[in-house]
Amino acid sequence: MILFLQFVLATIILCPLLAFLVVFVSCRRIRIKRHMAIGVAADITTAILFFSVPIAIQALWEWSLFIPIYLLALSVAVIFTYIDWKRKKEIQVMQLLKRIWRSYFILLGTIYFFVWVIGLVHSVTIYLMAV
């Protein structure tokens, strides 16, 4: 049973798109509106992407980018907070956190996509060189 749980967890971490689709379909099955289901799936996938992106980069290039990615996330949060404070003078925390979290989803999802494509091209190149 533990081996199965390890397999499921590893699959989710290595393939966050799968987690997004599972959460989205689950939300739709329990009759959550489409835009709310996408938001919930994006929120859960963001948490997974925080682990997936550094692991994918480390697997591909053997660089440990855990700390730089978390520092980037902290910088994004500070910048969004500063902009929100300058624009509105009164910060609405929940809206700000939601905006920051969704920007993390876009940023980390984009990084993960590019790392995935580069890894695929790298693997194909190595395969073609060996043939």
Cβ-Cβ contacts under 8 Å for 52 (sequence gap 6 or more): 13, 14, 16, 108, 112
Please tell me the total count of domains within the chain.
1
pLDDT in tens, the chain (131 residues): 778 877 777 777 788 889 999 999 999 999 889 899 999 999 999 999 998 999 889 888 888 888 999 999 999 999 999 999 999 878 899 999 999 999 999 999 999 999 999 999 998 999 999 87
User: Cα dist. 130→49, 117, 118, 122, 124 in Å?
Assistant: 32, 20, 18, 12, 10
Range of the domain at 71: 2-130
Instruction: Report residue 44 as tokens.
Output: 């859960």
- In Å, how far from its chain's centre is CA 123? 23
Spatial distance between the Cα atoms of 4 and 89, rounded to a whole number of angstroms: 51
